[in-house]
Structure 1
Amino acid sequence: MSTQLKASLGPLHLWGIAVGLVISGEYFGWSYGWGVAGTLGFLITTLLVAVMYVSFIFSFTELTTAIPHAGGPFAYSRRAFGEKGGLIAGMATLIEFVFAPPAIAMAIGAYLNVQFPELSTNLVAVGAYVIFMGLNILGVTLAATFELFVTVLAVLELLVFMGVVAPGFSFSNFVLNGWAGSGSFGMPAVSGIFAAIPFAIWFFLAIEGAAMAAEEAKDPKRTIPKAYVSGILTLVFLAMGVMIFAGGAGDWTKLSNINDPLPQAMKMIVGANSGWLHMLVWIGLFGLIASFHGIILGYSRQFFALSRAGYLPAGLSKLSRFQTPHRAIIAGGLIGIASIYSDGIINIQGMSLTAAMITMAVFGAIVMYIMSMLSLFKLRKTEPALERPFMAPGFPIVPAMALVIAVICLIAMAWFNPVIGLIFLGFMAMGFIYFHFTHAQRANAPADSLLSGETSV
């Protein structure tokens, strides 16, 4: 049975994956942060999170180029901390990438509902899963080329949004009642700043997923740094621009707890019948599709890598005749579809399904970021001779910044989302139980020098 992925992706493909994985976060999800922090409070949260992501990506790229493995953070943590370290990072990454797509699928349904009110949001979400699981199964080059195409369209559409909204932009709209819970900056506002962390992270969540395409990249030691550095700079610019222009379009409180803030913001400027609005709805779907499609690629590679290493059932690492992990693609899709149909049945902390899925995904991401930065420090100490084509700039200060901010975010997340935090721990515990009873499965897994470091010099 073949378990070797095909290297066929160039730097533009990788940029498309890195940005495409994330770009739906510019279209929806982040505006829930206004509901808890206000525009000014959320601006502070976003700046803090942006600092974390920039420092994280510049540090994470060192790991990605030194250990180009489909497991990404799982591989780095296992090499640094052994099997249990790999389990923590692998499970956290899997939770992040499995629970983000249902939120995006629901947003796709919400965007289409603007044009076709009679459409079932859940039915559209399930249809999206079927279509894009199928596209991912047909081959990584086809999937990555499509990802690049829709990502470029999505970036252009965000620039168009800013341009169309700009003539009606008013900074006074953005700052009006900008501190949630009080008329001016105070303790309620400070509380809101920390409570809004999941929604600021949603602006950038999953950029690290490009690491899971490392085995399928041509010359990953050269192409991945280009993709990551250009990708994070693209996303920071778009996140700040979209948030500020949307907030200045009118009464931002009307945008704070919905899944389609950009069409509604544009409606405040150009009216409900404008051709610009209809264009945003249709082309805006490409942003959601880019992330949805890309994260399917990401979760499938994480399932694949964990299965190949013996952490999950071996069948999930089986490849199709197109050299894609089709069973892993389907497994994540079934979990996502089940999550979609839990809407209205399961109520978590009074949140909408979208907000709950975002928060669950962010718990996984933050734990993975912490494990990745700890792995970077550990490998610098234990494997100083490891070939590192890209070195984290400003070491140890830059990765330490990412680590400290990530720990602060995790503490705040647990404080403000205790129920979801406990559910997250429950999923992690399930992974540990399976791990405990499957030692033989890992012992019989194919040898992988990137996980063990046996061939490093």
Structure 2
Amino acid sequence: MQSQTPALDKSLNAFHLWGIAVGLVISGEYFGWSYGWASAGTLGFLITTIFIAAMYVAFIFSFTELTTAIPQAGGPFAYSLRAFGPTGGAIAGFATLIEFVFAPPAIALAIGAYLNVQFPSLDPKLAALGAYILFVTLNIVGVRIAATFELFVTVLAVGELLVFMGVVAPAFSLANFTAGGWAGSDTFGSAAIGGIFAAIPFAIWFFLAIEGVAMAAEEAKEPKRTIPIAYITGVLTLTVLAFGVMIFAGGAGDWKALSNLNDPLPQAMKGVVGESSGWLHMLVWLGLFGLVASFHGIIMGYARQIFALSRAGFLPRVLARVHPRFRTPHIATLAGGAIGIGAIYSDNLITIAGQSLTASIVTMAVFGALVMYAMSMASLFKLRHSEPNLARPYRAPLYPAAPAFALAMAAICFVALVIFNPIIFAIFATIMTVAVLASRLRAGGAAGASFDPAI
């Protein structure tokens, strides 16, 4: 039976994995985060981002222990399945799936919006559809090709952010950044504190999906060595970029003019170098690389999560098929793409709590991420207790303080998100409940019994 288990191609090195780690997230440096200024002001959002960055650093340094001890494509699903059994595995697996399936449509529409700026006659939804077709195909053709492309566009996107900071740095003024920097009139008044909590999803957007490297673990060479390198350098890279981009953009001019825009970086640079500058045109064009890197990387992530859930019997087995030539989960890749395309073409037809469908599914993706973070840290504690002899090539530093901090922060963020988004939470909870119950009813509740996550 083990010889019939679908197997993925092992061809990724530490550079590929770093490219995936940073590339999964880097679109969050280009758009989305500036809405946090509208909620909390620059200083309030800075506080939010400091706490969220600390949560992610603690989480990644702890999460890496699980990834190296159990290097499976399911990532958080595999850890929770081993720690808490099929129900725990289902909760973590479907929460991760919601995060990774619901984030790409928003990024695809942002890609379409960027292209529409350059080509006004191009329908953004048609461009988003083209992006799905192109990158789903690239993911199916081969993981090494896909990961090499991911590394290439990620390096370009990181370089572009450094160029942005360098170009606007001469115009930076601390007075610009701090002007009206708190929500409400009082520092740490009720409005300011409420704004800090309301801005949590936008700070999470700086780091959302970095954990997706775990889903490429089965395709990594020497995962016990390469994954820690990729995760630690990746989270540190993203932390530096997040604070650099936010601080330089906020201090280069009137940050309030950027707080409700999907393209804060080009607009910040326009105020410094002028509308006709070659630097600005470069930023607009190369900004696509940041979006493409995240879009492409998250497709890799959702495909592996669907594959792992299906291989373990939590989803129909057909989704666990591996392409006979390319050794990639092609059916899972296509299935996630179909859901994303459906969301794109429903964007203007459906609103939730006054938000567009895209804005709502981004929030739903954050709900999924927070549940996954909590389940992963709980799994770390459980496995330390129940399997003390499990081979752990990398052990979480500052245990138990670091994972406890990450778990507590995820819980605080989740409660804040529920308070500010009750309708979207109700939809998320309904989807999770149906998915978990359906997976447990499959084969009389035997889902997960046919696949040993330790293999």
TM-score past 0.5 threshold:
yes
Q: 2:139 maps to which residue?
A: 136
After superposition, residues 301-312 of structure 1 pair within 5 angstroms as 301-312=304-315
> Is structure 2 residue 428 aligned with structure 1 residue 424?
yes
Q: In the alignment, is the contact (CA less than 8 A) between 1:307 and 1:313 conserved in 2?
A: yes
Which of 291, 314, 318 is the aligned partner of 2:317? 314
Q: 2:381 maps to which residue?
A: 377
Alpha-carbon deviations, 1:133-169, whole Å to 9, x = none?
0100000000000000000000000000000111112
After superposition, residues 262-277 of structure 1 pair within 5 angstroms as 262-277=265-280
> Is structure 2 residue 279 aligned with structure 1 residue 295?
no
Which of 88, 93, 109 is the aligned partner of 2:91? 88
CA distance in structure 1 between the partners assigned to 2:434 and 2:333 by the alignment = 21
SS in 2 for 1:447: coil
Residue 442 and residue 293 in structure 1: after superposition, are their counterparts in 2 closer, same or farther (change >3 A)?
A: farther
Alpha-carbon deviations, 1:217-271, whole Å to 9, x = none?
0010000000000000000000000001111121212211221111111111111
SS in 2 for 1:450: coil
> Is structure 2 residue 369 aligned with structure 1 residue 361?
no
Unmatched 5+ residue regions in structure 1?
A: 452-457
Q: 1:454 maps to which residue?
A: none
CA distance in structure 1 between the partners assigned to 2:376 and 2:327 by the alignment = 28
Residue 207 and residue 443 in structure 1: after superposition, are their counterparts in 2 closer, same or farther (change >3 A)?
A: closer
Q: In the alignment, is the contact (CA less than 8 A) between 1:136 and 1:296 conserved in 2?
A: yes
Q: In the alignment, is the contact (CA less than 8 A) between 1:107 and 1:260 conserved in 2?
A: no
SS in 1 for 2:207: coil
Alpha-carbon deviations, 1:422-455, whole Å to 9, x = none?
111111022023123203584697432517xxxx
CA distance in structure 2 between the partners assigned to 1:177 and 1:119 by the alignment = 38
Unmatched 5+ residue regions in structure 2?
A: none
CA distance in structure 2 between the partners assigned to 1:221 and 1:193 by the alignment = 38
Q: 1:100 maps to which residue?
A: 103
In the TM superposition, residue 172 of structure 1 has moved relative to its aligned partner by 1.4
CA distance in structure 1 between the partners assigned to 2:99 and 2:219 by the alignment = 21
SS in 2 for 1:384: coil
SS in 2 for 1:438: helix
CA distance in structure 1 between the partners assigned to 2:19 and 2:451 by the alignment = 31
Q: 1:74 maps to which residue?
A: 77
Q: 1:455 maps to which residue?
A: none
Q: In the alignment, is the contact (CA less than 8 A) between 1:177 and 1:183 conserved in 2?
A: no
Which of 28, 31, 34 is the aligned partner of 1:28? 31
Q: How many residues align?
A: 451
Please say which of residues 368-377 and 353-362 is displaced more in the overlay.
353-362
Please say which of residues 177-186 and 56-65 is displaced more in the overlay.
177-186
After superposition, residues 207-222 of structure 1 pair within 5 angstroms as 207-222=210-225
Given the two structures, how large is their TM-score scaled by the length of structure 1?
A: 0.96
Alpha-carbon deviations, 1:385-438, whole Å to 9, x = none?
000000000110111010111110000010111111111111102202312320
> Is structure 2 residue 81 aligned with structure 1 residue 59?
no
In the TM superposition, residue 11 of structure 1 has moved relative to its aligned partner by 0.4
SS in 2 for 1:23: helix
After superposition, residues 174-253 of structure 1 pair within 5 angstroms as 174-182=177-185, 184-253=187-256
Given the two structures, how large is their TM-score scaled by the length of structure 2?
A: 0.97
Please say which of residues 173-182 and 400-409 is displaced more in the overlay.
173-182
In the TM superposition, residue 63 of structure 1 has moved relative to its aligned partner by 0.2
CA distance in structure 2 between the partners assigned to 1:6 and 1:84 by the alignment = 29
In the TM superposition, residue 210 of structure 1 has moved relative to its aligned partner by 0.2
What is the percentage of aligned positions where both structures have the same residue? Answer: 69
> Is structure 2 residue 328 aligned with structure 1 residue 324?
yes
SS in 2 for 1:258: coil
Quote the RMSD (CA, aligned, Å): 1.4
